[in-house]
Amino acid sequence: MVAFLALAALLPALAAAVPCVQFDAQFNLYAFGGEEDVNLGPSSSWSSPSPKPLSSVGRPPWTGTNSQCLLSQSNNAVYVIGADAADATSVYIYDIVGDKWSKQTTSGGPTSVGNSRSSAVLDHDTNVLFTISDTAYSLDLGLITNTAAGTAAWTTVGTPPFPVADYKGTAALASNHILYFGVPSTPAGSANLFVIHYNYFQPQAQAYPAVGGSNFPDSAGQTTSFLVQNNTVPYQVLYVPNDFSNSYVVTHYTDPASFNVTTGSPMPASLINSTQILPPPTSKDTNAAYAASDSSIVQIDTKGDIYYIANAVSSWQVAPGASWSKLSYSLKPATATTSATASGASSSAPGATKTGAKGEASSSGAAASSTGAASAAAPALARKDIVGFALGCAAVVAAVVL
């Protein structure tokens, strides 16, 4: 029993999943990485949410610490990276309409998809994934739609004009450019740029001066791109630096055919290369994840609490006096799932809200009754061992009593 208690004491050190949020192409909100993944519906329903569980069959094990959930808007599918510690460069694909997971096989590439939860972006127009790891990499998913197929090969993109060793990836997509925030020694209010369709790192940073406020800091943080209706490329980025000074809405527009032409922009010309300011999130969690529709911004922190501004942006302009609200539903982050969990969670029926971990614990509840507290916090793999150990202890106790 001493050995068991020592083992139980180690359990809290095993991390829970880091959850994420993302929208589908119709701007319904989803939260992933919980004991169950859920559809939280359109922003009009968030004041009284009714989460609908998604299929868990074949979903990521949520063992990674830098998970990212990226919408492939053309395919109405969410691509999840960094959520499988045992297969760091794999991509899990959630098909929204089919409520179905598949896992994309990849080859080559980095040993990880980045050192942060904002290292990678998915290019809207080409479905190519870009990330910064020990250098810049891409993964061409152009032939992938909403279901995994074949093998996609990672390739190096080229060497960024800034040292990546000390750079915590803080990247987002706007107007076919990748904006890199927080590159060391960049002036406040400026971001480094990669021009995707020219495969070109712009040597100088671009200034995005603040409209009515102070410039964003030169800091790592978290980012996401605002979606645009009708499957249009994003033009705006939400950037939340680790100092939580504000939430920054950065607008980037250049003509798709010519990166220095800015006529024909959908937004007022005064907003091109500008930063607008929204209040900082309520939850100051530097490891939170974000999503943005064409108007709403959403944060999920690592506890699974969800905060939002439903009407943060309208016609490219931030709403004056906007403030964050807390969703009355929180996602309970998954603990590491294993093959044992998959069997417990294999039902895709919406009513099957119990997790595999819970199902497994309850199925062995009689034997493990003395370990209930530890079991509640334990990942399935550890729990399986514990249940076995508890059975062993029970056998020893039984033998002694006899």
Ligand X SMILES: *[C@@H]1O[C@H](CO)[C@@H](O)[C@H](O)[C@H]1NC(C)=O
Interface positions with ligand X (CB under 6 A)? 193, 202, 206, 229-230, 254, 259-262, 272-273
Task: State which residue, 111 or 263, has the beta carbon closest to ligand X.
Answer: 263
Q: Least distance from C-beta 351 to ligand X, angstroms? A: 36
What are the φ and ψ backbone dihedral angles of 179, each rounded to 5 degrees?
A: -95, 125
Nearer of residues 126 and 202 to ligand X, judged by Cβ: 202
Q: How far apart are CA 222 and CA 49, in angstroms?
A: 25
Q: Minimum distance between the CB of residue 137 and ligand X, rounded to whole angstroms?
A: 23
| CB proximity list for 40: less than 8 A, separation 6 or greater | 28, 29, 30, 31, 46, 49, 51, 306, 327, 329
In the complex, least distance from residue 260 CB atom to ligand X, rounded to whole angstroms: 4
Q: Are 223 and 289 in contact (CB under 8 A)?
A: no
CB nearer to ligand X: give 268 or 372: 268
Cα angle 81, 85, 91; round to 5: 25
10-to-2, 125, 160, 379 alpha-carbon distances in Å: 13, 46, 41, 12
189/260 Cα distance (integer angstroms): 20
- What is the rounded distance in angstroms from the CA atom of residue 77 to the CA atom of residue 88? 20
The one-letter code for the residue type at 256 is P
Contact 344, 356 (CB under 8 A): yes
- Could you tell me which residues are beta bridge partners of residue 248? 239, 277
Q: How far is CA 112 from the centre of its chain?
A: 15
The smaller minimum CB distance to ligand X, of residues 312 and 361, is found at 312
Q: How far is the CB of 232 from ligand X (least distance, A)?
A: 7
* CB nearer ligand X, residue 211 or residue 391: 211
**Between 111 and 260, whose beta carbon lies closer to ligand X?**
260
In the complex, what is the shortest distance from the CB of residue 199 to ligand X, in angstroms, rounded to a whole number?
Answer: 15
CB nearer to ligand X: pick between 191 and 297: 191
Task: State the minimum distance, in angstroms, from the CB of residue 265 to ligand X.
Answer: 9
Distance CA 402, CA 396 (A): 10
| Residue 111: CB minimum distance to ligand X, A | 32
> Residue 39 or residue 202: which is nearer to ligand X going by CB?
202
What's the closest the beta carbon of residue 140 comes to ligand X, in angstroms? 25
Look at the block and give the residue holding tokens 């998959």.
342
Q: How many Cα atoms within 13 Å fall on the side-chain side of residue 361?
A: 23
Kindly state the smallest distance separating residue 270's Cβ from ligand X, in Å: 9
Beta pairing class for 151-158 and 100-107: parallel
Phi-psi domain of 184 (left: phi exceeds 0; alpha: psi -120 through 50; beta: other): beta
Cβ pair 43, 293 in contact under 8 A: yes
Least distance from ligand X to the Cβ atom of residue 202, Å: 6
User: Which residue's CB is nearer to ligand X, number 133 or number 176?
Assistant: 176
Q: Which two tokens stand for residue 374?
A: 């530890």
Residue 95 beta carbon to ligand X: minimum distance, rounded to whole angstroms: 23
* 227's tokens: 């979606």
Q: Which residue number, 32 or 316, has a Cβ lying nearer to ligand X?
A: 316
> Where do the DSSP E strands lie in 73-140?
77-81, 91-95, 100-107, 120-122, 128-132, 136-140
351, with CB counted inside 10 A (0-12, 13-18, 19+), is exposed
Q: In this complex, which beta carbon is closest to ligand X, that of residue 5 or of residue 261? A: 261
